[in-house]
Structure 1
Amino acid sequence: MTASVDTTARRDSAPQITLRLLVTLALLSAVAPFATDLYLPAFPQMVDDLHTSATSVQLTLTAFLLGLAAGQLVFGPLSDRYGRVRPLVIGAVVCVLASVVAVLAPTIEVLVAARLAQGLTGAAGMVIGRAIISDLATGRAAARAFSLMMIVGGIAPIAAPLAGGFLVQPLGWRGALAVILALVVAMLVAALVVIRETHTEERRAALRADKATKGSPLRDLTRRAYLGHLVAFGFAFAVMMAYISASPFVYQTMMGLSSAQYGAMFGVNAFGLLLMSATSARLTARVEPRRLAGAGLVLILAAGIAVLTLAAAGVPAGWLALPLFFAVAGMGLIFGNTTALALSAAPRAAGTASALLGATQFGLAAVVSPLVGLAGEHTATPLGIVMVCAAAMAGLGFLTARP
């Protein structure tokens, strides 16, 4: 008798999504926000210490994001073929080595290269973590799990800028990167101790047998439901990354805040994201994930329009704080729900689907990061333009995915 993959039975026989597992997967995903946010307050210090330009320092962030995008395209398909655990452990080991090089980097060139490698291998935790949830749940259950994971992982975007603001002065930028190294080591330990295989050889064999009757699992990736939610998720994250990249200049240069005050403001916005993620997790029991995601997309578009209007009008920079708060908070309704909607549309190729999701996410982030500073560090108009355009593209993708 020909083997086939029954999605319901497959999930019923799989390990359950426990709080311990969610916390571990959140830790795997936390490497990226910590690696991007923690050292942002140290950018001016890095320019002086490494005898380089602000543009070159910005490349350390861009290289990391490009690495995250490319790395997910590598580790996602590998996890579909060889299981989740082995690629995860290999990626974590190499990421530890790259993080050591980043801490000790003598020049900006070495640092950029180390950050690229750090992103390439650190991507394993993010892409495989999403695939593990997709192995174990679908629909509303998956949306709730992703939102809950964002609550646990929400500590990262809150703690990272706060820690960076307070640690950069006494420890320097190398100290900030050493904290990232410690997190990567924790990621490796967690992968070894907690994660168990959810994409077993038996299930991989069943998928291969299914291919003869249902076609390649990769066909799922051409579905409108998958592609539309992929675009919505990716461009929504581009809005977030535009804000993250511009935030040191908006809060410190334009508003005149100290590095510690900058960290506090950044943390307040991240706390809004945390609260909205918690709200989303509670509402998924009675509200369709698509409706929640749609509300979040409307919110970030309105916030982007407000930022652009205020910046173009030349009002005091302090007025930008409110729409930026709502832009970040709105992501709590978008990320978990669009992730669940996209991966639920491609259950037979969860690792590859997760990889494309992450590659789009960080590929777009790498593109928009330099754009927000094109007009210099004393205006938020480019930030507003990027936010509005990215939010509009996210909305169009979301409408395309409509059943």
Structure 2
Amino acid sequence: MIDPKKFHPRTYIFKKIIENLKKKINVDVCWIICQPDKFSISENEQNSIYDIHSFSNANDIIKKIKPDVIFVDKDKDLIQNAITTAAKLQEIPIIARPSMINYNPTLENNSSKNIKIRNFFSTQVPSDESSRGFMRRGKFFFYKFLFLIHTKISIKENFFNIISSSLNEFFHIAISRNQSTLNPNIDLHLIVNSEQANNYEKFGIKKSNLKLVGNIWLDRFFEIIDSKELELQKNVKILIISSPLFEHGIWSSNQREDFLSELFSILNAESKFSISLKIHPTSESQEYYNNLLKSKHMKIPIFQSEELLELIPNYDLFITYGASNALTELAFCQKRVINIPLKQPIESKPLVNEAIFCGFIKKCDKLQDLLFTINNSLEIVPKPNEDYLDMREKFFFNSDGKSAERASDAVMEFLSKTH
């Protein structure tokens, strides 16, 4: 888990559930921070935020905090796997937050072996804002891997089971191209739509362990869906939404430099465009972008800590690249978007294919065609069709802005049966 004081979709979802729980019962929240470096905790945070490096294994975490319930992500992440394995022996209820990305056990992960190798030797992890040291990500992987093994030893798991399960974990993370395995220790999965429920059941999750609550993250966007025509001003305001492809090991530093340099040069040549940039809140370095833009003699606003939700109403058109999660958010808000796919399967993102057919999203496979694609997008007034509205209803269950409230009700109902 990253620092809960930083804005991130994962922490936002957990916080909204907790916020609604606090309306019903007294809640004390403890966050476990899991980062490569020791985390500095202020005196007034000492009973609510804990650094993973303060513990030898997950069993020590359970003994120290004595939780009544544990919230985790759906995946079999090494640290969360360790914590839930220790908690399971203590019969502590384990609940998975609603996932932003659907889980489909029949799909392959897009990460190639080359990308996984590059990730392993990466000088930073996704939450770093800049490079920190040789093989930082690989070293952190081994730290988490050993933490899991130490946890299994502490709970006196059979030696041969430890060896077998550890090799299996290593295979799935380092070699396999299958999607991450769902954590089998989870007692209740909060899910966003019925299709997600079907896919969880394919994996073997019992229907009784699933609760449909809706999409907490996208609930916020209902207020800014623009039903009126997309009127344009003379000076077209464009927001570029970056993607941390380099930070996640998909791009080399040269690939990032070449792509962004060409992108900024093309847009800077058009005087009628007013350009701004939104970069990832935790994974990317604002200093890098400042230096890059300075080398191009460009000075544009760069947003990092600001929410995309706050920025969307202020722009006429958005440029994204790769299979960014922002595509679904922009499709949901019915905004003009130019996407440069970079050979990534953007149509697999919820609502994106329908938004393409409606004209909200236009693909631009080559940067040389970017200006033509932008002008083409600005000439039309896209409107939602029946397929788009049906798919939005399908993917975003009961879109009434009350998903977090339903999630907290589901948690209360579940805990009443287990205590």
Does the TM-score normalized on the shorter chain lie above 0.5? Answer: no
Structure with greater proportional helix content: 1
Q: Point out the structure with max Rg over C-alpha.
A: 2
TM-score, scaled relative to structure 2: 0.24
Structure with greater proportional strand content: 2
TM-score, scaled relative to structure 1: 0.25
Task: Tell me which of the two structures has the higher relative contact order, counting C-alpha pairs closer than 8 angstroms and 6 or more residues apart.
Answer: 1
